[in-house]
Chain A
Amino acid sequence: MEDGAVTHVRSILYLPSSPLPPQQGDAMKMKAAQKVHYDSGPNMTPLVDVVMVILIFLMLTGTFTGATWYLKSNVPIDPRGAKTTEAKSDNPYPDTAKVDVRVSYAPNMAGGGQLFVGYLGDRQYTNVDAFAAALKTKRDELKSIGKTDKDIQLTIFPGGAVHFDLVCQAYQAAMKAEYTRIAMGTSG
């Protein structure tokens, strides 16, 4: 019976992680096994400190990528009436159809500044969307006679006193009308 009692005790305290089956002498180890060992793992505090320092560094030194983009003009300015900047021999598109638009302004009586006035041919447009629609119509006409995007050159001639933001509005209208070759002209 005593052996059975010892065996019973052994089965209770038998630790599954123990590689060895219960043997004589394990009774001594049973007491030690009662002291539970808590594995705390690696100390995370220094890691958190370093990560916080890196984070603060990045927050202070970095600047967010600016919400800016670019209006691309792939042809140099064309001073009509003066020397041309692009020699004929450099022009890879000799059959270019030229679309010239003028940009002027009307004074904004309400809030100051300038209001957009665009000219395509003899027609005047005070609304940028209408101007874009007219440009698109012009482009479609040229495409219907066989011109491709590379053969159509749109040049914007702003007045000398026209503010740059109105020039950008004309530019946007040209981009909305899907012109791919947009150039700037002189004001004279």
Chain B
Amino acid sequence: MRKTGMPAAHVSHPNVTPLIDIVMCLIIFYMLVAKIGIDTGADASIKLPESLIGTRITDPSNMIVLNVKPTGGQFAEVSMLNPKSQRSEIFSMQPEKSGQSSYIRSDLKTVLLMVRGKNEEFKIVIRADATLPYRYLEQVLLLAAEVKPKEYNFEAKRPV
């Protein structure tokens, strides 16, 4: 009998097709839920109040975010990301001149008017800590009213 050589053994490799399918699903998931490179100037240290109902903003391009914090005194501090200069700016709501109302801040008003331009869809988003007394927020609202935005939005978080 003629001996025939044993055929070379076939080394089975793991089937990577399901692995690629799962990894592709994960990539699509992260691409859809992640926000990359979007900086609205929101101050992450502010603990937002909770709200069971609210609306979503689908057009973030026409809005500016104002972070309102107490300073320990009687005037609020407002921080924002200037979309023109892409720099974070901080303003105190302390009156520039004695005898003026606290909300007459020409520097902040100038910046807001510059950002607003002729945009009729300009919106202001206000982020304030849940324990912030309203008198601080009132100062910012009175100033922002002079800029005449289309609407205000108070940011709140959904309870877990």
Q: Which of A69, A71, A184 contacts B141 (CB 8 A)?
A: A184
Count, chain B residues at interface, CB 8 A? 56
Cα–Cα, bound, A176→B53 (Å): 8
Contacts A58-B30, A68-B48, A79-B142 given; indicate if A48 touches B19 (C-beta within 8 A).
yes
Q: Does B49 contact A48, Cβ atoms closer than 8 Å?
A: no
Min CB distance, A77 to chain B, in Å? 4
Shortest B120–chain A CB gap in Å is 13
A113 within 8 A of B: yes
The answer to whether the Cβ of B148 comes within 8 Å of any Cβ in the partner chain is: yes
The number of residues on chain A lying at the interface, defined by a beta carbon within 8 Å of a beta carbon of chain B, is: 51
Q: A44-B20, A63-B35, A172-B51 are in contact. Are A76 and B152 (CB under 8 A)?
A: yes
Pairwise interchain contact B130-A163, C-beta atoms closer than 8 A: yes
Contact in complex: A76, B148 (CB < 8 Å): yes
User: In the complex, which of the residues B10, B19, B137 has the most CB atoms of chain A within 10 Å of its own CB atom?
Assistant: B137
Complex Cα gap A20–B42 (Å): 74
Shortest Cβ gap from B92 to chain A (Å) = 18
- Interfacial chain A residues near B155, Cβ < 8 Å: 68-71
Please classify the interface of chain B as helix (H, G, I), strand (E, B), loop, or mixed, using the class held by over half of its residues: mixed
A77 touches B142 (CB 8 A): yes
**Complex-state Cα separation, A175 to B138, whole angstroms:** 21
Query: A38-B10, A69-B155, A165-B50 known; 19 other A-B pairs, CB under 8 Å?
Result: A48-B19, A51-B27, A58-B36, A62-B30, A68-B156, A70-B156, A73-B152, A76-B144, A76-B145, A76-B148, A76-B149, A85-B146, A163-B131, A164-B134, A167-B134, A168-B50, A171-B51, A172-B52, A186-B142
By a beta-carbon cutoff of 8 Å, the part of chain A in contact with chain B is: 34-36, 38, 40, 44-45, 47-48, 51-52, 54-55, 58-59, 61-74, 76-77, 79, 85, 113, 158-165, 167-168, 171-172, 175-176, 184, 186-187
